[in-house]
């Protein structure tokens, strides 16, 4: 049973975890300049994630004895689609688009995951879901320019990567829910990033990228200390650590409350990308971004009525 003190701490743990997730652009954007190939950057990110995950995974491997093949299938999908491919898409989105737009667009992910859960698991959709999800979609379209004055039905490459990333992370969330029915969070999260590392190793091998100049390019060699530091901060401070903090907080927090505290991720990302990388939004985009975040939070609040089970982590390095 959750104590009164834990109930007070829980939302702030959610906020801290979400805010730390939101800092990853601070490291990923500079690393994009050091690693021209997004696949290589995500590979090294997963190497560090696996090192961090091993101490939590090894003592829990016995859980696999009672894990069904179906759950293993969900885990593999989550690792490939969410941890590996999703991280590559997010890296490409930051490389080719406005980072502030990219980070706000990703807030559409809960709408996608809830919709996918309805079709795959027959989860109930609360009546309020359709209203707030619709507002979120319209706000997202305004944000990326599809409903702006003089709009045309095209989006830049960065926004396109972000939308596909949101879809992959959303589907990964649904798969993660299936995994969490039979597996503890530390084991599920750890195995997920391990599968992500295997996936990235296969991708790099298939593309012929396992050679010195590509695997550790000249720009990284010229800035070795900075490169290693930023990789550790990306995978650790903005990846593995917030994952554990966030889900500990989620255990102690009502879903409707958590939705609002999760806004710290967008706030932190906006401060970094706008304040430090000068990726500004126009006035109409600012309004659309605020409406989008609030609408998604209200989607989560409405869905609390359906008593959905806990979900697994949606990304290898929030969110």
How many CA atoms lie less than 13 Å away from 130 in the CB half-sphere?
4
pLDDT at 34 over 50: yes
113 is written with which tokens?
């995951």
| DSSP string across 65-131 | GG--HHHHHHHHHIIIIIIIIHHHHHHHHHHHS-HHHHHHHGGGHHHHHHHHHHHHH-----HHHHH
Q: Which of 27-36, 176-185, 239-248, 256-265 has the lowest mean pLDDT?
A: 256-265
CA distance 291 to 263: 12
pLDDT at 17 over 50: yes
Instruction: Write out the E strands in the chain.
Output: none
> What SS3 state is found at 307?
coil
CA distance linking residue 37 with residue 25, whole number of Å: 16
Between CA 304 and CA 260 the distance in angstroms is 13
pLDDT band at 311 (very low <50, low <70, confident <90, very high): very low
Which tens digits make up the pLDDT trace of 235-271?
Answer: 999 999 998 888 788 777 765 566 667 778 888 898 8
- Asked if the model's pLDDT at residue 181 lies above 70, the reply is yes
Dihedrals φ, ψ of 146, to 5°? -75, -20
In the prediction, which pLDDT does 317 show?
42
In whole angstroms, what is the distance from residue 246 CA to residue 15 CA? 7
Q: Is 211 exposed, middle or buried (0-12, 13-18, 19+ CB in 10 A)?
A: exposed
| Average pLDDT for the chain | 85
pLDDT of 310: 45
The per-residue pLDDT for 262 is: 75
Q: Tokens in use for 305?
A: 């009525």
Does pLDDT of 182 surpass 50? yes
Q: Where are the domains of the chain?
A: 4-306
Inter-residue contact 14 to 246 (CB < 8 Å): yes
Q: First and final CA of the chain: distance in angstroms? A: 28
How high is the pLDDT of residue 192?
A: 92
């Amino acid at each position: 049973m959750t104590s009164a003190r834990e109930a007070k701490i829980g939302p702030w743990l959610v906020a801290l975890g979400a805010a730390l997730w939101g800092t990853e652009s601070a490291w990923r954007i500079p690393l994009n300049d050091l690693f021209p190939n997004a696949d290589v950057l995500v590979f090294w990110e997963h190497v560090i994630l696996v090192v961090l995950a091993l101490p939590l995974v090894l003592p829990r491997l016995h859980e696999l004895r009672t894990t069904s093949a179906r759950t293993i299938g969900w885990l593999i999908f989550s690792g490939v689609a969410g941890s590996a491919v999703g991280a590559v898409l997010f890296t490409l989105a930051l490389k080719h688009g406005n980072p502030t737009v990219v980070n706000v667009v990703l807030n559409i992910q809960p709408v996608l995951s809830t919709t996918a859960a309805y079709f795959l698991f027959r989860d109930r959709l609360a009546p309020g879901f359709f209203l707030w999800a619709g507002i979120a979609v319209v706000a997202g379209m305004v944000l990326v320019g599809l409903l702006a004055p003089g709009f045309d039905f095209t989006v830049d490459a960065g926004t396109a990567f972000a939308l596909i990333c949101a879809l992959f992370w959303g589907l990964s969330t649904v798969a993660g829910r299936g995994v969490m029915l039979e597996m503890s969070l530390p084991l599920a999260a750890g195995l997920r990033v391990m599968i992500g590392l295997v996936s990235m190793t296969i991708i790099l091998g298939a593309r012929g990228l396992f050679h010195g100049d590509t695997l550790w390019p000249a720009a990284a060699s010229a800035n070795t200390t900075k490169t290693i530091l930023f990789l550790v901060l990306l995978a650790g401070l903005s990846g593995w650590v917030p994952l554990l903090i966030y889900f500990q907080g989620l255990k102690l927090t009502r879903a409707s409350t958590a939705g609002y505290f999760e806004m710290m991720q967008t706030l932190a990302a906006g401060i970094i990308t706008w304040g430090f990388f000068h990726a500004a939004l126009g006035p109409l985009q600012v309004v659309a971004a605020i409406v989008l975040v609030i609408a998604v939070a209200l989607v989560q609040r409405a869905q609390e009525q359906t008593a959905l089970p806990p979900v697994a982590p949606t990304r290898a390095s929030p969110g």
